A and B are shown apart, each in its own frame.
Chain A
Amino acid sequence: MIIKQLSIFVENKMGKLVDVVEALGKAGIDIRAQSIADTSDFGILRVIVTKPDEVASLLREQGYIVRLTDVLAVSMPDTPGSLAKVLRALSDENVDVEYTYAFVSHNKDKAYVVIRVENNEHALEVLANHGLLFADEEDIYK
């Protein structure tokens, strides 16, 4: 399924990342998945939360720069090689994957990943054609 991810600009300085995460914690926001991409001077914190639009405005009010991006959330059996199959299928069909990161799952048989591609619909089609789209997406927001 396609979900909204929050990308937050953070300076690559001691404490800056903690500040954002703390701000989210104070507001009682449950971070379902997160990853950080950084260079020597800045980073992009990417998070999946239950109410992305609300959280985005909350952070903006506090002076953060936030962008909402559509990303793929894919669930798969929690067995060795599952992620590899997904990525292989995408790669075989020339779908460029910008990045992926893992999800916290409440279902111990399932693994979840966020996948960032250029064209979400096309990537979903590819995965469906390869029989790699599994149910239980609702679990993401539980």
Chain B
Amino acid sequence: MENYYQPDMERAPYEEMRALQDARLKENVRHAYNIPFYKDLLDRNGVKPEDIQSVDDLYKLPFITKDDLRDAYPYGLLGVQLSDAVRVQATSGTTGRRVVAFYTQADIDLWDECCARAIVAAGGTKDDIVHVCYGYGLFTGGPGLNGGSHRVGCLTLPMSSGNTERQIQFMTDLKSTILCCTPSYAAYLAESIHEAGLIDQISLKAGIFGAEAWSEEMRRDIESKLRIKAYDIYGLTEISGPGVSFECSEQTGMHINEDHFLAEIIDPQTGKQLPYGEKGELVFTCITKKAFPLLRYRTRDICVLTRDKCSCGRTLVKMSRLMGRTDDMLIIRGVNVFPSQIETVIISCGFEANYQIIVDRVNYTDSLDVHVEMTPDMFTDEVRGIEKKENEIVEKLRSMLGLTAKVTLVAPKSITRSEGKAVRIIDKRKI
């Protein structure tokens, strides 16, 4: 049985959704144009607000990037009177200046509703006890799920992050049923609960895990250890916070709340829109938020959009699990190469994910070298046998990327590690 928080939106026929999006987009472009930053940006690109009449016109708008948001610090992108803004959230600012995002009460309401949709999709009802151990404060994780949980009417535990012992105590004593945190913290909690021998005393049935990329294997691991169903959730502070998209019972990608956030996939090189099913950079346009409107914001996240019929009954467009970041993307002989693609090939050939990609330029041609650490399982006494395994990697890379790589098997633990993490990419090209 599927439940919906706002079935009118979540199950809207495509034409209806498009009409709503067209109207909202038109209005929000006009709204954004009142902000000097957007007026200047559109004017410079020769785009007038009235050029944007529907979603089909989206491509005419210039992109904005995180740098633009940083440059606008602190108030450069505030879209309403200060008196109408009620909240600030901010990114962690690990790579320089922070991005601060503003919210009106209506902006917070729609954000809460998006999170409520995620909780209901994960099976949440007002009878549930939602245990939120995302951080609270400037970080959007805690406030977002907290707000969504209130909307659904769940008993909400604003635990915030850390203090694992206390988390487990509340979880067992108050009988939390839905856990919200990062997947890595969920895995850590699961370990700790097992170590404490308390697995039979927890009442969790579902988890909503986001704010970092995680794999299907990790999902299955958390699910079996905590005896729950684990749902992915996606969001960025710039766009609003968690709940930009959320997973349903099918667990094959996240439905985007496209009545608020328009998603596009573009080729990160050319900026051209790509059709459904093609992998590229995710771009969002906020069509309802007023205090911090975003037009064609490049997330740098790589994924695929699909509009196939979903078994949950939702018609909202779906985004795949994140497949990487454009920051990691290499362009080799004109081909976009993601380290994750190379990793997939290496693992499918039986090796482990201990590898290094070395790109160089010899005689004006890019070279791609892939070093893979030998493992005891893959080692045999025969040179030919090992060469066959090397060639299998070369062949699979060729068919996936259309590039010929030189694959070298290296000794275990020989790949440089920096703070325990293997240094994956060495780009020696000087252009």
Q: Which residues of A pack against B, CB within 8 Å?
A: 5, 7, 9-11, 16, 37-39, 41-42, 44, 46, 63-67, 69, 98, 116
Contact = CB atoms under 8 A, between A and B. Distances in A.
A41 B381 contact: no
B410 A69 contact: no
Q: Which 10 A-B pairs have the closest CB atoms?
A: A7-B381, A41-B408, A69-B381, A65-B379, A37-B383, A11-B411, A9-B374, A42-B409, A9-B379, A65-B376
B411 A46 contact: no
A65 B413 contact: no
B379 A67 contact: yes
B374 A67 contact: no
B187 interface: no
A42 B381 contact: no
Given A63-B412, A63-B413, A98 B382 contact: yes
Listed residue (B375, B381, B411) with the most chain A CB atoms within 10 angstroms of its CB: B381
A66 B411 CA distance: 11
B411 A10 contact: yes
A66 B382 CA distance: 13
B416 to A, nearest CB: 14
Contacts of A42: 374, 386, 408-410
Given A9-B374, A65-B376, A39 B387 contact: yes
Given A41-B408, A42-B386, A65-B376, A11 B381 contact: no
Contacts of B382: 44, 98
Nearest to B409: A42
B127 to A, nearest CB: 55
B224 interface: no
Contact of A9 (B408, B411, B413): B411
A68 to B, nearest CB: 9
The majority secondary structure among interface residues of chain B is loop
Contacts of A98: 382
Contacts, number: 47
Given A67-B376, A67-B379, 15 more contacts: A7-B379, A7-B380, A7-B381, A10-B411, A11-B411, A39-B387, A44-B382, A44-B386, A63-B411, A63-B413, A64-B411, A65-B379, A66-B376, A69-B381, A116-B381
Interface in B318-335: none
B405 to A, nearest CB: 13
Interface residues of B, number: 17
Interface string B353-375: 00000000000000000000011
B417 to A, nearest CB: 13
Nearest to B413: A63
Contacts of B410: 11, 42
Given A10-B411, A16-B411, A65 B375 contact: yes
A16 B414 CA distance: 12
A42 B380 CA distance: 12
Given A39-B387, A42-B409, A11 B379 contact: no
12 contacts: A7-B380, A9-B374, A9-B379, A9-B409, A42-B408, A46-B381, A63-B412, A63-B413, A65-B376, A65-B379, A69-B381, A116-B381
A98 B375 CA distance: 23
Contacts of B387: 39
A62 to B, nearest CB: 11
Nearest to B373: A65
A103 B210 CA distance: 62
Contacts of A67: 376, 379-381
B157 to A, nearest CB: 47
Listed residue (A9, A64, A98) with the most chain B CB atoms within 10 angstroms of its CB: A9
